[in-house]
Amino acid sequence: MSLDHDHVHAEHGHPWSPPSELEARVRALESLLIEKGRATPEAIDAIIGKYETEIGPLLGAGVVARAWADEEFRRRLLDDADAVLGELELSGFEAEHVKVVECTPSEHHIVVCTLCSCYPWALLGLPPGWYKSPAYRARAVSEPRAVMAEFGLVLEDGVRVTVWDSSADIRYLVLPLRPEGTEGWSEERLAELVTRDSMIGVSRPLEPEAAAA
């Protein structure tokens, strides 16, 4: 078991080292629950692997890129995301019901969960530390513009902000504005511009020159 003493943990933002007592507790619980038939090493590894290698933001990026490239798909996605995502087999755990919210030149969207960390797992994978942090959960509803500014996103005058506080069964995915200068691009190229953070609404997609670099 590796100990990473040096990194700065995203959730609290200060140098952090896991107490060995914590690791001991995890080992004890794992042994106990395997002994009691509540978990198996195979099942634990299988589910970790699923979220480390398969279920992640590339899935959501593919959906966004297709919506940019295909008008009919975009219209259906905004109208009935569950039907569209079901066809694509993306209606998995913690994204059983999804609403896609589209940024326009006059409205910007940003997603949070103030009560816990609800997040569209099946489209974006497990949420990043900052999304789960008390600071983000507390501030995204009361000062979304200040939060976005910390991410480097300052909206033009006249753009209103809608904050989506995920509190029940519906999960939210932001469809960002398509970057200018991408006319005629394939879905694959477009997908490279779609970042996880742009699908949460705290930043814009990459610019075309950034992807070319």
Partner 1 sequence: MNGPQDIGGKQGLGTVPYEPDEPVFHSEWERRVFGLSFCSWLSSGVTVDESRWMQATMPYERYYGSLYYERWLYSLERLMVEKGVATQEELERGASLADPALPVVEPSELAAVVVGLAKNGIKRERPAPAPGFEVGQTVRAKVINPSGYDRLPTYLRGRRGAVDCSYGGFVHPEDLAAGRLEEPGANCYRVRFSASELWGESAENPEDSVCIDLFENYLEQP
Helix (H, G, I), strand (E, B) or coil at 55: coil
Residue among 15, 18, 186, 188 that touches partner 1 (CB under 8 A) = 18
3-state SS class at 164: strand
Segment lying near partner 1 (by CB under 8 A), choices 59-67, 84-92, 177-185, 205-213: 84-92
Q: Is 79 in the site for partner 1 (CB under 8 A)?
A: no
Instruction: Specify the residue, 142 or 186, whose C-beta has the smaller distance to partner 1.
Output: 142
Contact 137, 114 (CB under 8 A): yes
Which residue, 139 or 189, is less far from partner 1 as judged by CB? 139
What part of residues 174-213 is at the interface with partner 1 (CB under 8 A)? none
Compare residues 182 and 197 and give the one whose CB is closer to partner 1. 197
> Binding to partner 1 (CB under 8 A): which residues in 118-177?
121-122, 125-126, 128-130, 132-139, 141-147, 150-151, 160-170
Q: How many CB atoms lie within 10 A of CB 206?
A: 16
103 catalytically annotated:
no
The overall longest dimension of the chain from CA atoms, in Å, is: 60
Query: Are 61 and 191 within 8 A, CB to CB?
Result: yes
| C-beta of residue 176 within 8 angstroms of C-beta of residue 205 | yes
Query: Per CB under 8 A, does 87 bind partner 1?
Result: no
Q: Which of 91, 103, 118, 198 is catalytic?
A: 118
Separation between Cα atoms, residue 50 and residue 41, nearest integer Å: 14
Judged by CB under 8 A, does residue 43 bind partner 1?
Answer: yes
CB 130 within 8 A of CB 136: yes
- For the annotated catalytic residues, the residue numbers are 113, 116-118
